[in-house]
Amino acid sequence: MQVYYYSYIARYEVFNVSQGTTFSLEAPGGYLELQYAEWGPVGSQLIFVHQNNIYYYAKMGDNLNKLVKTGKENAIFNGIPDWLYGEKILKTNKAVWWSADGNKLSFASFDVSRVDKMIYTKYNAPQFDNPDYLYPELVELRYPKAGRPNPQVSIWISDLSDPSNIAAPTRARPPSEIVGRDHYFTALSWIDKEKLAIVWMSREQNYSVVSLCSAEKNWICEKVPSHLEVSVDSDSNGWVELFEPPLITDDRRHYLLRLPMKDGELGAFRQIAMITINEKIQNFITQGSQDIIKILAHHQETRTVYYSATLPGAPGERHIFSIPDIHSRSPRIPYCLTCNQTDRNCSYHDAVFSRKAKFYILECQGPGVPWTEIRSAQDNQILMKTKVDSKLFEIVEKRAFPQIRSFRVPIDHGYFAEVKLILPPALREYEEIKFPLVVEIGSEIGDQQVSRKLSIDWGLYLASKRNFIYARIDVRGTRHQGDKFLHEIWHHVGTVEIGDYLKVIHYLKSDLHFIDPYRTAIWGWAYGGYAAATSLIYEDNQVFNCSILVAPITNWLFVDSFTAERYFGQPFRGSYINYERADLSKKVSKFKGKNLFILHGTADDAVHLQHSFTLMKALNDAGIVYQTQLYPDSNHYLEDVRYHLYRSMELYLFECFGYDEDEDIIERQTAITKRFGK
């Protein structure tokens, strides 16, 4: 059962391979619904989490050990994250890590007892055999908002080497650079059976440090090497992003990590740093104006590292690279394993490597029909092509798919915005027919919208079925174009990037004759809803005919502390003005005469209904008319009402553009052109 986006409760069945039997995994008391379960690396070791406590089987069928007993509902979480860590930082349902030999288990504990409660209502359907369902249910969620108390995290290590005598876990002590300041833990991995690498980050998100913690030093963590830290310079803006554990080489002497490295005027790009553990030496093995997306594997015998990255000047592409002999003192030259796939209509790749990095599965994810094949890592030869559904190719060949056009548009301060237009199949540039324009803004700040990845979504539907032009735009505040481009919005969310969006829209309207300048709409989800609303009122003249806000952020003081403080700072430590400037409810007078549609799920745990209701109240008080639609008991992602959501938005767009649903846009435009000319 889904709890939040990443968290769940499940029942587990254990299958005995040798005996061919199955039995249910149970917690003491016969409870079957568990919060998490995971096999250990040796034999039939297994841990599971129930009621926020961790249980351990050294061997299935042996005695069950309760490793942690401090768990408390909605107060102390062990082995699983609380809401903030699970949804925003770790982005997973687990907070346990095994050593390779299975003799030690590290886990995180989250104390949320001081975190404020957010309460929302679930209405449920009445059940005649259960009188409790006659009344709405109040759900309590520990949700830290900007400037309010955060979860207190601690890392613990349990020694499991003697199952008959398991001692109480030992706490890992953060490095001195972190002790005494409010902080986050962002990643963890075992270096060997006695050493941990833990990544910490200050609450301000302007400082991050990688520490080594060992049994030899009683799990007191130290920053190693002494200079391995990531921080924001005192004379610059922005934040740090270090959310992945180091990749340990097989010889256990080095680890690899993505770190920012400055590259001229564009600022820093993510590059691969190699750290020699005992010698405390750090060297970058890649460089340039491309972003390393992911370190995929390390092959010990050839000392080769495999990774995925963008290309310089092509932030929307993803390619797989190898870089050999990483210990060489001479310049290392990376080799692109996938840059010759243009004849196969593929420029967006991902890869999964075998444990010893001798083979890999290559996935093409666009812009053409996706395909998968198995290759040898050493010589990049294709060993097997997985069977692709020929019917999919037939459908693509027969259907009139929209045209995709990508290009760059100049914006302020010498920057360029990346633009992707999904054009109706019937569009012909030599004709005078004009098409409505719908602009989508991404749901999270920094997310890349313009890429070569194939996406079958609402935008494709609107272009192919409804003859709308659908636009995605990457402006300042987007990743993979250098940290300077990304950090331009720091303390200026709702201004810099909105100006960029509007500059691009003005360019599209004036330079592309097939766009109808009098029929344009903008929409977005969460942050995208905030940006869509702000775009509607940013200029005095009307740029958009209407705006759709799905689960919109309207006041950043209501947003979780991790997200809000990254972009605005802490409100009660000198940054309150940043929040006040961005509050939509203080700008409601500008919505007069604007066309606005607000949609929200009442059980939204990520962007609470408080956002929409606060804006609605301000609009009501100002006498401004708008449209709204609520989805009772639906969460932030509205999966259970997705068809109804998109259908409602589609009908709203027809109303906004002055069309009937059954009206053929092309026929109407052709008739108008014949009658009145251009």
φ, ψ for residue 572 (rounded to 5)?
A: -100, 20
Q: How many Å apart are CA 369 and CA 502, to the nearest integer?
A: 33
Decide which of 13 and 223 is more confident: 13
- The answer on pLDDT for 671 being more than 60 is no
- The answer on pLDDT for 466 being more than 60 is yes
- Ramachandran category for residue 366: left, alpha or beta (phi over 0 → left; psi -120 to 50 → alpha): left
Looking at residue 228, what is its pLDDT?
60
41 preceded by a cis bond (ω within 30 of 0): no
Q: What average pLDDT does the chain have?
A: 91
CA geometry: angle 611, 614, 618, nearest 5 deg? 140
Q: What is the pLDDT of residues 200-256, one digit of tens each?
A: 999 999 999 999 999 989 999 988 665 566 765 544 689 999 999 888 887 788 889
Provide the b/e sequence for 135-147 (b: ≥16 CB within 10 Å): eeeeeebbbbbbb
Q: What is the full DSSP assignment across 573-630? A: IIIHHHHHHT-GGGGGGGGTT--EEEEEETT-SSS-HHHHHHHHHHHHHTT---EEEE
Question: Of 257, 182, 181, 167, nearest to 212 (Cα)?
Answer: 257
Looking at residue 266, what is its pLDDT?
84
Looking at residue 331, what is its pLDDT?
64
Do 35 and 50 meet the contact criterion of CB atoms below 8 Å apart? Answer: yes
Which residues pair with residue 173 across a beta bridge?
Answer: 220
Question: Of 197, 198, 203, nearest to 184 (Cα)?
Answer: 203
Residue range 26-34: mean pLDDT, rounded: 93
Q: How many Å apart are CA 284 and CA 261, to the nearest integer?
A: 8
- The answer on pLDDT for 542 being more than 80 is yes
Decide which of 347 and 279 is more confident: 347
Looking at residue 237, what is its pLDDT?
83
CA geometry: angle 451, 457, 463, nearest 5 deg? 90
Looking at residue 119, what is its pLDDT?
96
Residue range 369-379: mean pLDDT, rounded: 91
Sign of CA dihedral 87, 228, 280, 155: negative
Amino acid at 458: W
Looking at residue 391, what is its pLDDT?
67
Name the pLDDT band for 330 (thresholds 50, 70, 90). low
Q: What is the pLDDT of residues 70-120, one digit of tens each?
A: 999 999 999 999 999 999 999 999 999 999 999 999 999 999 999 999 999
| Half-sphere exposure for 155 (CA within 13 Å, toward CB) | 29
Sheet strand arrangement including 627-631: 403-410, 416-423, 469-474, 435-441, 515-525, 546-550, 596-601, 627-631
Residue range 16-38: mean pLDDT, rounded: 92
CA distances 294 to 272, 479, 552, Å, are: 9, 14, 31
Q: How many Å apart are CA 659 and CA 652, to the nearest integer?
A: 10
Residue percentage of the chain with pLDDT more than 70: 94
Do 76 and 84 meet the contact criterion of CB atoms below 8 Å apart? Answer: no
Do 433 and 670 meet the contact criterion of CB atoms below 8 Å apart? Answer: yes
Give this prediction's pTM. 0.93
- The answer on pLDDT for 425 being more than 90 is yes
- The answer on pLDDT for 569 being more than 80 is yes
Burial class (CB in 10 A: 0-12, 13-18, 19+), 301: exposed
CA distances 557 to 25, 583, 602, 607, 660, Å, are: 43, 9, 19, 11, 41
Looking at residue 124, what is its pLDDT?
79
Looking at residue 674, what is its pLDDT?
56
Window from 179-193, 315-329, 636-650 with minimum mean pLDDT: 315-329
Q: How many Å apart are CA 432 and CA 90, to the nearest integer?
A: 51
Q: Kindly give the pairing relationship between strand 416-423 and strand 469-474.
A: antiparallel
Give 353-357 contacts, CB < 8 A, sequence gap 24+.
Answer: 353/296, 353/297, 353/306, 353/377, 356/299, 357/297, 357/298, 357/299, 357/300, 357/304, 357/306
Joined together, the tokens standing for residue 98 give: 């095994």
Q: Say how many C-beta atoms besides its own lie within 10 A of residue 263's C-beta.
A: 18
Do 277 and 325 meet the contact criterion of CB atoms below 8 Å apart? Answer: no
Looking at residue 667, what is its pLDDT?
65
Looking at residue 234, what is its pLDDT?
43
Domains of the chain in start order, with CATH, are 246-399 (2.120.10.30), 400-676 (3.40.50.1820)
Q: Where are the beta strands (DSSP E) in 365-457?
A: 371-376, 382-385, 403-410, 416-423, 435-441
Cβ neighbours for 181, distance < 8 A, ≥ 6 positions apart: 202, 203
Joined together, the tokens standing for residue 549 give: 């806000």
Q: How many Å apart are CA 668 and CA 435, to the nearest integer?
A: 11
Looking at residue 676, what is its pLDDT?
45
Residue range 62-75: mean pLDDT, rounded: 94
Looking at residue 534, what is its pLDDT?
97
Amino acid at 157: I
Residue percentage of the chain with pLDDT more than 90: 74
Decide which of 291 and 431 is more confident: 291
225 preceded by a cis bond (ω within 30 of 0): yes
Sign of CA dihedral 248, 250, 254, 258: negative
Number of H helices, E strands in the chain: 11, 38
CA geometry: angle 338, 457, 655, nearest 5 deg? 145
DSSP single-letter state for residue 34: B
Name the pLDDT band for 411 (thresholds 50, 70, 90). very high
Residue whose pair of structure tokens reads 């444990």 in the numeric block: 355
Residue range 627-643: mean pLDDT, rounded: 97
Question: Of 460, 451, 524, 453, nearest to 494 (Cα)?
Answer: 524
Residue range 623-628: mean pLDDT, rounded: 97
Joined together, the tokens standing for residue 500 give: 């960029």
Q: What is the pLDDT of residues 44-60, one digit of tens each?
A: 999 999 999 999 999 98
Name the pLDDT band for 61 (thresholds 50, 70, 90). confident
Amino acid at 529: G
- The answer on pLDDT for 675 being more than 50 is no
Q: How many Å apart are CA 155 and CA 185, to the nearest integer?
A: 9
Residue range 404-420: mean pLDDT, rounded: 95
Sign of CA dihedral 548, 554, 560, 565: positive
| H or E, element range at 546 | strand 546-550
